[in-house]
Chain A
Amino acid sequence: MKIALFATCIVDAMYPEVAQATVTILRRLGHEVIFPEGQTCCGQMHINSGKFAQAEPVIAAHARAFSSTEWDAAVAPSASCVASLGHQQPMVARRMGNEALATEAADIAGRTYELSQFLTDVLGITDAATDLGSYFPHRVTYHPSCHGMRLLRLGDRQSDLLRSVEGIDYVELPLADACCGFGGTFSVKNSEVSSAMLADKIRTVQSTGAEVCTGGDASCLLHMGGGISRFQRTGNFEGTPDVTAVHVKQTSGRVGADDTTDGLTAVVGADDDDHRVPGEQGTRPQEPSLQQSGLRVGQSTVHQARILASTKEDPLRVQSEGATVSGGSLR
């Protein structure tokens, strides 16, 4: 199959290694990969900021880049960008009175897949270890992106692939379906709310004791990595109204049958036993210490394409093995 890679702007400029991993996986499966050179961005940043007029030429650039080349399917390592192609681009083009662009955008969207969607639905990959040689012997937790879950309906596609990686110690992320707070320009326009969501997300990531938090969207991972880095650097959620209803609690007994390494679990809100008796003042929940929260090693985020691309021969190294972590992202 001839596959057009849609790298997405953030991966192209910030995480070239994620696009390289995507190419590696597709080539390993015997496919030809091309990179349409005119590509830039899906336009979501402008669309979600209400700047439809500025989004239109970006959408047009995407259409030019992907209509001019012969390919069987386009693949992107991002659920959010793929969702924007189908859910937003035609709508915006139509609102700008550009029906021809709307049709073209819808056509391209119909042939563009998120990576895990392409691997499972189109190529029928069910076992990453067997089919891709994926090997990653580390404790990993996984954050499903909102747009992957709710716009593309990826379901378990990403997590199933991860679970089937050889050697992986996969830990469920508590409250996994909660948004990390990125939301594009939301993260700066409503920075404090976004940071509060991020802080709660990081508390849950910490509670897993995983060395790496992965996912299928570089934007969420950039955001979460940035927050993890800040917490590890400063020991608190600096710059955030540091208040939470997410409590990482020491639990007695095992969480899961195989899970004896930590007795921490995250819950939202106060339990019944947290109620004060009349007259007593309310108390703030205790933050778990770095030690308690499983942060014996540094945590970082990494795109799942790189975990799937990792093999015994050419393994992806983590921080404890000397790899560089920058801004919370594994390099």
Chain B
Amino acid sequence: MTFLGMPLLRSTRHDDQEIPGGQGNIVEDESFAKVSHQHLSNQQLRNNIGHATATIRDKRSEVVAELDDWEALREAGSRAKNQVMENLPEYLAQFEKNFTAAGGVIHWARDADEANAIVTELVEANAPVLESGRREVIKVKSMATQEIGLNEHLETQDIDAFETDLAELIVQLGDDKPSHILVPAIHRNRDEIRDIFMEKMPDAGELTNEPAVLAEAARRHLRHKFLTTKVAISGANFGIADTGTLGVVESEGNGRMCLTLPETLITVMGIEKLLPGFDDLEVFLQLLPRSSTGERMNPYTSFWTGTTPGDGPQNVHLVLLDNGRTRALADEHGRSALNCIRCSACMNVCPVYERTGGHAYGSTYPGPIGAILSPLMTGVEAEENGSLPYASSLCGACYDVCPVKINIPEILVHLRGEDVEANHSPVSSQLDTALTGASWMMSDGKRMAAAESGLPIAHAVAGDKQINSLPGIAGAWTSSRDIPALPEKSFRQLWAENEARAEGEDDER
């Protein structure tokens, strides 16, 4: 494809045939502008998210400020992930060899459907059918399984998946959707959580809205499940290529329960989660907790390498998931989005996320990272995801806090270019027309001067009155903002007149 006869440099595509995009919970149903409308006017939501993101922002900056070498750690984190992406086949092979040698079993899944089928088969082979006629599994919070819609799929296969992370439990009991990577129930406050628990935990008794009381209720609710369930499903924060080790970073101990007590452990991990070596943890175990929960270290981190004889599950599986990651990898300008370690710092600082909440992004991955990751995984051709790269004022706060230095604003702009090229609306919008006109005018100072020479006339017509209302696309501006009266003359005109006058004065001398 060419623009104005000029070949657009697109090293992003080396293909003869397009790499397929991902499927599952990574596609918006409607454009961001439409979906965000309802969330913006929800006072409770705005209050809850405003309060929570402000709290976590402060905590993060405090613990980041404690480290003099923070910028160097970010640089090292970025370097490590770039190296993984550039050599992904080699690292995957190395990881596979080591994990398998240690007694683990690896399964590869091209997309969500395939991953769901693999997990279902493993659960059916290892979890007993209960009296109810259904099977049960316990789950540790995992973005990958959210992405592929695993719980919903298992439900149709007569398998009940119990979320054990407190926030995921709140979401699951509330028949709700997660709205944040780290704190899926960030859109709920303690009063709402109490109401959900009172309604959905029959044995909980009377509860107050104290977070400690609510946490205790969750402990009692899940304890028996932890001690008796035979199969657990987890995600993974890291896969270590040079040792074949997997790691889960968590707080509550529900992760340890799931990773330790059941007989069978099934982990679903994206192929991009690898780190080159065990030593790289010295960087990532500093970057992740401080960026994520704003703690120096999260309460619990577990690492396992295949199976450990006499310790924990002896039947250990890993599903390596593509589901659009290779498509994102093919985009040279967007590839670094795969470096994401799911800390959620970007959404905590994002002024757009703070006002719309996570549901507006229509994907498992909300906020700034979601606005690039979702369209990268599906392709901007997935039309509604084409609106996500515009869901940003490009303020740059996300890039500043990203522990692996993903330049989110630059990728947003890049994806806007891809969207323009995909040409979703063959009929030009008013904005497109205006921009086309502006490009013509601004390509030549004389044309701009000519356009500005209309200012005295416009000024004579409109006078000193400011502009409070305009039709068409400009009405989107004047819906909430007035516009100053136009000046009588542009600076260019004033400058030319002054120059002429000065020269005239020189001549007179």
Contact = CB atoms under 8 A, between A and B. Distances in A.
Q: Please say whether the chains A and B touch (CB closer than 8 A).
A: yes
Interface of A: 7, 9, 11-17, 19-20, 35, 37-41, 43, 45-58, 60-61, 65, 87-88, 91, 94-98, 146-147, 149-151, 177-179, 181-200, 222-223, 225-227, 229-230, 233, 237-246, 267-270, 274-276, 278, 282, 284-285, 324, 326-329, 331
B131 interface: no
A275 B444 contact: no
B178 to A, nearest CB: 20
A240 B355 CA distance: 12
B448 to A, nearest CB: 5
12 contacts: A7-B491, A13-B490, A49-B435, A57-B443, A96-B3, A181-B393, A185-B390, A188-B431, A222-B484, A268-B53, A284-B43, A326-B466
B209 interface: yes
A192 B393 CA distance: 12
Nearest to A283: B43
B484 A326 contact: yes
B79 interface: no
Contacts of A223: 481
B51 A38 contact: no
A17 to B, nearest CB: 8
A233 B482 contact: yes
A245 B46 contact: yes
Nearest to B465: A326
Given A9-B442, A15-B487, A196-B40, A37 B492 contact: yes
B452 A40 contact: no
B55 interface: yes
A65 B394 contact: no
B445 interface: yes
What's the interface size class on B, roughly? 35 or more
Report the 4 A-B pairs with minimum CB-CB distance, sorted nearest first: A245-B50, A269-B51, A183-B393, A50-B416
B136 interface: no
Contacts of B394: 48, 146, 183-184, 186
Given A41-B438, A229-B482, 11 more contacts: A13-B487, A95-B417, A97-B6, A146-B393, A146-B395, A147-B396, A179-B395, A193-B33, A226-B483, A229-B481, A282-B191
A35 B413 CA distance: 31
B399 interface: yes
Task: Report which residue of A199, A244, A268 has the largest number of chain B beta carbons within 10 angstroms of its beta carbon.
Answer: A268
Contacts of B416: 48-50
Nearest to A16: B491
A245 B47 CA distance: 5
A170 B52 CA distance: 30
A50 B420 contact: yes
Nearest to A190: B33
A193 B31 CA distance: 13
B308 to A, nearest CB: 44
Contacts of A177: 397
B379 to A, nearest CB: 15
Contacts of A88: 413
Nearest to A324: B464
Contact of B445 (A46, A61, A226, A241): A61
A177 B44 CA distance: 24
A187 B416 CA distance: 15
A15 B131 CA distance: 76
A147 B400 CA distance: 12
B480 A245 contact: no
B9 interface: yes
A260 B41 CA distance: 35
Contacts of A275: 189-191, 209
A322 to B, nearest CB: 14
B455 interface: yes
B416 to A, nearest CB: 3
B49 interface: yes
A190 B467 CA distance: 21
B473 interface: yes
B466 A327 contact: yes
B418 A282 contact: no
A327 B482 CA distance: 5
Contacts of A12: 448, 452, 490-492
Interface string B196-215: 00000000000011000000
A132 B442 CA distance: 34
B55 A186 contact: no
Contacts of A274: 47
Contact of A282 (B32, B44, B400): B44
Contact of A197 (B209, B393, B420, B436): B393
Nearest to A58: B442
A37 B500 CA distance: 14
Contacts of B480: 191, 195, 198-199, 226-227, 230, 237-240
A186 B395 CA distance: 11
A82 to B, nearest CB: 14
A324 B9 CA distance: 50
Contacts of B418: 50
Contacts of B129: none
Given A186-B390, A278-B208, A51 B420 contact: yes
Contact of A268 (B3, B51, B436): B51
B419 A193 contact: no
A65 B395 contact: no
A210 B328 CA distance: 48
Nearest to A87: B410
A328 B352 contact: no
B106 interface: no
B435 A329 contact: no
A227 B6 CA distance: 41
Contacts of B399: 150
A180 to B, nearest CB: 8
Contacts of A7: 491-492
Contacts of A40: 441-445, 448
Contact of A57 (B195, B391, B439, B448): B439
Given A97-B6, A198-B481, A45 B438 contact: yes
A96 B479 CA distance: 36
A196 B49 CA distance: 14
B439 A327 contact: no
A54 B477 contact: no
A188 B50 contact: no
B413 A328 contact: no
Contacts of B415: 50
Given A40-B444, A52-B417, A241-B40, A97 B8 contact: yes
B485 interface: yes
Interface string B207-238: 01100000000000000000000000000000
